[in-house]
Structure 1
Amino acid sequence: MTSSNSAAQIARARWSLIVLFALLGLSYSSWLGRLPTVKEALNLTESQLGVVFLAGAIGSLCCVTIAGHLVVRVGGRTLLTISAVGISVAFILEGLGPTLGSVPLLALGIFLNGCFVALTNVPQNVETAAVERRVGRAILPHFHAAYSIGAVVGALIGAACAAADVPLVTQLSVTAVVTLVVRLVLIPNIVLDTHLSDEERWDRARTARQRRVERAEVRAGIVTPTQPRTLAVLLRSRRASLGQALGAWREPRTVLIGVIIFAAAMSEGSANNWLAIAVVTGFDRPEATGALMLSVFLVSMTVVRLAGTRVIDRYGRVAVLSVSGVTSMVGLIVFGVAPHFSVAVLGIVLWGAGAALAVPLGISAASDDPLKAAARVSVVSAFASSASLAAPPVLGFVAEVTGTRLALTLIVVFLAVGVAVSRNVAPIQRHSSEDTVVPDEKV
């Protein structure tokens, strides 16, 4: 994999990544803005919808744990291209399910979407960290701001389509086709740290061919005594590669960053999944208003992500993460107990502002060491997927008893834990005398 790139390549990668992040946000949010339609079309309760959401979390968790290994094995370009096609197929299924009245078809679409988004997020986040290192200052929140901008556009598209009674399958199918074309054009521009050279591709293809030939010879009984040992060496090498990718799970700092991202993903993901429904059911507002409030949340996130990079450079990751967590907690409580809709809007703004920087800070911290970035980003992304696995059913069942708004305040507990371990996102300091990484006391 190469590390030397021209300024033009870095700029091209940066802007291509910004567009790709925006497309992820647009696709996801345009679907989330239509959740009331999905809920009504399939006659689902909050708890039942939460169980359906589990399909996406399971798919994400299944794939995110091996995503770092796949990045090393096949390269970012191949993995991103396959995932782009998969996301579009999943998106169309998510539109067909409610249209045909099929919960299993919807669940399949959500499951596949979870799988392929997970396989996209790891190489894409590794590349954003690669660009940030080459630029030499904090810019990673800008990429996540692009996601938020795309999400705002997507939420507005969802609200407009809901107001105009556009069929869900039509909206999602058009979005899937357009976003796929743009992704396939831009993906070749972004591979810096996850690029496989032609020599590396040839070596790996030759190794794969050699394994196939030797396995065939073993089965045919025509191998010499030394050939089985050669095959064993190749297999041990492959297992060692996978073991190195999974070794990040034994690093305390990486795991604690994962805890932070777990809380942040639960906060942001629950807003995406439940905010529109909470507004519709909690304040007796139309579906378009629920989608609009999701846009308010996303706009708040976007503004802070765009402005937050200078704040991070000045005050450091730890301080910014701590303040962000407290702000989210205040916003959630205000939204959950607000007696009037106007007060709840204030809570939504605070919630979105607090949720803006936690995930980018965690990804940036996990990517401090470029040699281990893919494995560590894969680990912390698994925590995000675990949050997606735990939150929907828990909040769905609690919402059945307390209402969706009040159920969302449970997230405050997890955010408090994230704030408590926030010092682990401090930049690492590598000692020249030994290959160890420790948290830097300066932030």
Structure 2
Amino acid sequence: MEESIIIDTLGGRRDGERGIVSFHSSPARNAVGRWVTGILIIFTLLGFGFGSWLARLPAVRDHLGASTLEMSVYGLCLAIGSLSGLLLAGRTVALLGSRRALGVGILIQALAMPLAITLIWQELLIPGLALLFCYGFAFATSDVAMNVSGASAERALGKPRLPVMHAGYSLGAVSAMGVGALAETWMVPVPLHLSAVFVIILVVGVFALRLVPPDSETARVDHGPQLAAHTGQLRLPPETAAAQDPAAQASSATHLSRPYTPWRDRRILLVGLVALGMSLAEGTASDWLPLALADGRGIPNSTAALILGIFFVAMTITRTFGSPILSRLGRVPVLRGGAILCGIGVVVVILVPFTWGIVIGALMWGVGCALGFPVGISAAADNPRTAVRDVAAVSAIAYTAMLLGPMAFGFLGEHVGLLTAFWALVAVALLSALAAGAAREPKIHTADH
């Protein structure tokens, strides 16, 4: 019996007469708590690794004497690798399982990035760029795997946790910037710096993976009934009715005969639209907000960079406290309100000519778009049987927007100005607000009290 497997895995208890499973026992909560902690550590490690690469790009440019165009080639190779990994991540993670995919992905990252930067440092560009592609591929695959495992963990816990995990990623990236600045001050060679970083990532990553249940156990948990977020108990659905209903059997057989693809699932595409809009808002601010303020408002570069820092702090804090907000309000109000707040913040940045007003607008912009992607991933993982492919599809949509969307804004800004180009973000935010209803939580049959 499937429910018996779930009980054995998590340490839950079942009332055989009432058909109720409880996951409030200490061993069960401790096991899921360790799972959440392990995935949170992995999110933080991946953010730290990628942030370390970004932090040392100026040093790489100076060492090679590379032009902006040449540096963009490095970023393009990594981006193409990431997009390739995202497009294949559904199959890869389904084949290997989340935990094994994470293990392989972290190992490849720990080998590929130090080797890539060492070769590039020695001006062996072709093999260095090939390894950057491999790093991007492994990074994207690991990203989908940790999101799938994180969604499974929060489902087992019965409380939203992906926002906190994404806050961990942001904290890891910000910390990497600080460490990178110290390495720059102490004139640590980039190959030595990144080699040390990825040795640490590999060692700590292996420890974190020990906290994650084996793939066989997480799969059994995923295929079991969902937990009620407020009660911790749920009534198991009757199996005999479906078994005795020929019409239900025929419908099930027809459904199984059709190969599933998330790209034909209207709900997943709408959830992807929400994630796309908020990821585009995040990526555009990261790439263009300081330059737009410097060129469009005459704000000093240092002040413009500080306003971008305020944007990132607003995002990180919102994600840190996103779990209790989601538990209290639910996904749809949070996503809809966030998209509207993001749109208003962008409008304030565009129209208000005063620095204090722009700071307020940047805060609203950051708070508004912070939860779009993590909540979209949670919504994509609602169906455990298709969660891997659904999460991969939503991730591909969101990351494509984050990687390629800002390029489109740069092209548009070249013709109309960056601040004017930001009006397109307002339209995208409104579309995200309209599509937010697709992320509504599935109905859960809870036990009566």
Cα distance change of structure 1 residues 51 and 397 upon mapping to structure 2, 3 Å threshold: farther
TM-score of the two chains, using structure 2 as the length reference: 0.73
Report the Cα offset of residue 94 of structure 1. 6.3
CA distance in 2, matches of 1:181, 1:275: 36
- 1:118/1:148 CA distance change after superposition, 3 Å: same
Q: Which amino acid aligns with 2:206?
A: L
- Indicate the larger mover: 70-79 or 132-141: 70-79
1:178 Cα deviation (Å)?
Answer: 1.4
Q: Distance in 2 between matches of 1:35 and 1:403?
A: 27
Q: Is the aligned partner of 1:285 residue 2:307?
A: no
Amino acid of the structure 1 residue aligned with 2:207: V
Give the whole-Å Cα distance in 1 for the aligned partners of 2:194 and 2:133. 16
Question: Which of 411, 423, 428 is the aligned partner of 1:414?
Answer: 428
Q: Which amino acid in the other structure matches residue 353 of structure 1?
A: V
| 1:141-156 pair list within 5 angstroms | 141-156=163-178
Are positions 1:308 and 2:330 aligned together? no
Cα drift, residue 164 of structure 1:
5.4
Count of aligned pairs: 385
Alignment-derived partner of residue 208 in structure 1: none
Letter of the structure 2 residue corresponding to residue 285 of structure 1:
N
- Which residue number corresponds to residue 390 of structure 1? 404
Name the structure 2 match of 1:209: none
Report if the CA contact (8 A) 2:342-2:367 is conserved. Answer: yes
Counterpart check, 1:324 vs 2:338: yes
Q: Which residue does the alignment assign to 2:238?
A: none
One-letter amino acid of the counterpart of residue 425, structure 1: A
- Alignment CA distance shift 1:382-1:42 (3 Å): farther
Structure 1: gaps spanning 5 or more residues = 198-240, 432-443
Partner of 2:364 in structure 1? 350
Match of 2:24 in 1: none
What's the counterpart of residue 110 of structure 2? Answer: 88
In structure 2, relative to structure 1, the CA distance for the partners of 1:60 and 1:270 (3 Å cut) is: same
Within 5 Å, give how 1:235-254 maps onto structure 2: 244=259, 247-254=261-268
Question: Contact 1:328–1:354 (CA<8 Å) still a contact in 2?
Answer: yes
TM-score (norm 1): 0.74
Q: Distance in 1 between matches of 2:309 and 2:36?
A: 25
Mapping for residues 39-438 of structure 1, pairs under 5 Å: 43-45=66-68, 53-92=75-114, 95-96=117-118, 99=121, 107-108=129-130, 110-162=132-184, 166-191=188-213, 244=259, 247-274=261-288, 283-285=299-301, 294-335=308-349, 339=353, 343-401=357-415, 407=421, 410-429=424-443
Cα distance, 1:249–1:137 mapped onto 2, change above 3 Å: same
Q: Which moved more, 1:380-389 or 1:2-11?
A: 2-11
Deviations 1:235-268 (A, max 9, x none): xxxxxx9x85x52221110111111112222222
C-alpha separation between the residues in 1 aligned to 2:123 and 2:268? 43
Contact 1:81 1:187 in 2 (8 A): yes
| 8 Å contact kept, 1:42–1:101 | no
Contact 1:256 1:424 in 2 (8 A): yes
Q: CA deviation at 1:379?
A: 1.2
Between 1:395-404 and 1:181-190, the stretch displaced more is 395-404
Which structure's relative contact order is higher, taking Cα pairs within 8 Å and 6+ residues apart?
1
| Deviation of 1:98 (Å) | 6.8
Instruction: Assess if the C-alpha contact under 8 Å between 1:48 and 1:396 holds in 2.
Output: no
Partners of 1:162 and 1:343 in 2: how far apart? 34
CA distance in 2, matches of 1:280, 1:39: 23
In the superposition, relative to structure 1, how do residues 168 and 373 fare at CA in structure 2: closer, same or farther (>3 Å)?
same
Closer, same or farther in 2 for the Cα pair 1:188/1:137, shift >3 Å? same
Instruction: Return 5+ residue gaps in structure 2 as ranges.
Output: 11-27, 220-255
Q: Distance in 1 between matches of 2:415 and 2:186?
A: 33
- Across the aligned residues of Structure 1 and Structure 2, the Cα RMSD in angstroms comes to 3.6
Letter of the aligned partner of 1:131 in structure 2? A
| Structure 2: distance between partners of 1:419 and 1:63 | 29
Amino acid at match of 1:370: P
Q: Percent identity?
A: 31
- In structure 2, relative to structure 1, the CA distance for the partners of 1:25 and 1:318 (3 Å cut) is same
Shift of 1:343: 4.7
Partners in 1 of 2:306 and 2:55 — Cα distance? 8
Amino acid at match of 1:368: D
Aligned letter for 1:372? T
* Deviations 1:385-436, CA, capped at 9 Å, x for gaps: 32145224323434545666665554333222212211111112489xxxxx
* In 2: Cα distance, 1:108 partner to 1:292 partner: 35
1:202 paired residue number: none
Residue number in structure 1 paired with 2:51:
29
Q: What residue identity is the alignment partner of 2:373?
A: V
**3-state SS, counterpart of residue 411 of structure 2:** helix
Q: CA deviation at 1:91?
A: 3.2
In structure 1, C-alpha distance between the alignment counterparts of 2:341 and 2:60, rounded to whole Å: 31
* Structure 1 residues 292 and 16: CA distance shift in structure 2, 3 A: farther
Paired with 1:165 and 1:335, the residues of 2 have a C-alpha distance of: 38
